[in-house]
Structure 1
Amino acid sequence: MIRNEVFSCFVFYGVLLVVKMYILAIITGQVRLRKKAFANPEDSLRHGGLQFYREDPYVERCRRAHVNDMENIFPFLFLGAIYSLTGPSLAVARLHFLVFFMCRVLHSVAYLLALQAPTRSIAYTFAQIPCVSMALQILMAVAAYA
C-alpha cells in the first residue's frame, strides 16, 4: 500500500497532523506547568499545593485547541485513508491533504493567539471543504455496492 502514491501522500500529511496534535499536547502541559494550573489534585500537590488545583484561561485555551484538533483530525484520517483507496489523481488528492493540513495549522495558531474573527473561522471552514469533497467521492465510489 505504501507504493500507492496517493496513500503515501496521505500518510505524509496524516503523520504531520498527528505530530501537530502532539505538539499542542506538549504546549498545553508546558503552559500548565508555567501557570501552575493543574487539572488533578495529585498533580497540584506535587507542584506546590492544592491552591494550584485550578483552571487557567490560557491553559484552557490550549486544551480546547487540542480537543478541536481531535474533533477534526480524526475524521480526516478516516476519510483520507478510504479516499486514498478510491483511486483519485495524485494532484487532486495532494491538494485535498495540503489544504486540510495548512488550514489546521492556521487554526491552531489562531486559537493559541486568540485570533477569532475571521482567521479561525475561515481556517475551520476551508479545512472542511476537502473533508466534504473526500466524503462525497467515497460515497460515489461505493454507491454501486450499497
Structure 2
Amino acid sequence: MMSEYPALPAFSLALVALFLKTTMTSLLQVAARFRTRSFSAPEDAKWAGVPLASVEANLVQRCNSVWRNDVENLPLFLALALSYVLLGATLASAGTLFAVYVALRYLHTAVYLRGLQPWRAIFYLGGIAVCCAIAVQIIRMLLVVRPV
C-alpha cells in the first residue's frame, strides 16, 4: 500500500503532529482553568468547589479561540492533503508542504496564545497559502491526461 501512495507517511506524520498540537491546547486549557479556578460550566465549578465564573480567564479564552480556529482550518487541510496523497503525490513534495503547514499551525498557536500580532495573521495566512499550493497541485494532477 505504501508503494501505491508514497506520500502516505508524510500525511500520517502531519495528522499525528496536528493531533498532538490540539491535545496540548486542550491540556493547557484545563490547566489554565484549574490554575485560575475559573469554570464557566456549572457542573465543573461545582466539581472543583468554586463559584461559577462570569468571565473566563484570558488564557482559557485564547485556548478556546485556538480550538475554534483549528476546527475551521484543520479539516480543510486534512481533506486537501489526503486527496493529494491519494492522487499519487510524491513523498518529497507532500512531505515539504505538510511539514510547512504543521510548523505554521504550531507557530500560529504559540503566537495566538501570547496575543502577538501581526505574527498570528502571518502564520495563519501562511497556512492558507500552503493549502492553496496543495489545491493547485491537485488541479495539476487532475488535468494530466493519463493513459488508460
TM-score under structure 1 length normalisation: 0.87
Bigger helix share: 1
User: 2:131 is matched with which residue?
Assistant: 131
Name the structure 2 match of 1:97.
Answer: 98
Residues 1:11 and 2:12 are matched in the alignment: yes
| Structure 1 residue 120: Cα displacement | 0.9
Deviation at 1:143, TM superposition (A): 5.9
Cα distance in 2 between the residues matched to 1:32 and 1:74: 27
Which whole-Å deviations, capped at 9, do the CAs of 1:7-66 have from their partners, x for residues lacking one?
111111111111111110111111111111212111111112334354222210111112
* Correspondence list, 1:1-146, <5 A: 1-3=1-3, 4-52=5-53, 54-117=55-118, 119-142=119-142
Q: Take 1:52 and 1:39, find their aligned partners in 2: how far apart are those partners?
A: 5
TM superposition shift of 1:126 = 0.9
Number of equivalent positions = 144
**Aligned-pair RMSD on alpha carbons?**
2.0
Distance in 2 (CA, whole Å) between partners of 1:100 and 1:114 is 20
Asked whether the 8 Å contact 2:87–2:141 carries over to 1, the reply is yes
- Matched letter for residue 127 of structure 2: A
Which amino acid in 2 is paired with 1:103?
Answer: L
CA contact (8 A) 1:41 1:53 kept: no
* Residues 1:2 and 1:63: Cα distance change in structure 2 (over 3 Å): farther
Could you tell me which amino acid in structure 1 is paired with residue 107 of structure 2?
L
Letter in 1 for 2:85: S
Unaligned runs of 5+ in 1: none
Contact 1:6 1:88 in 2 (8 A): yes
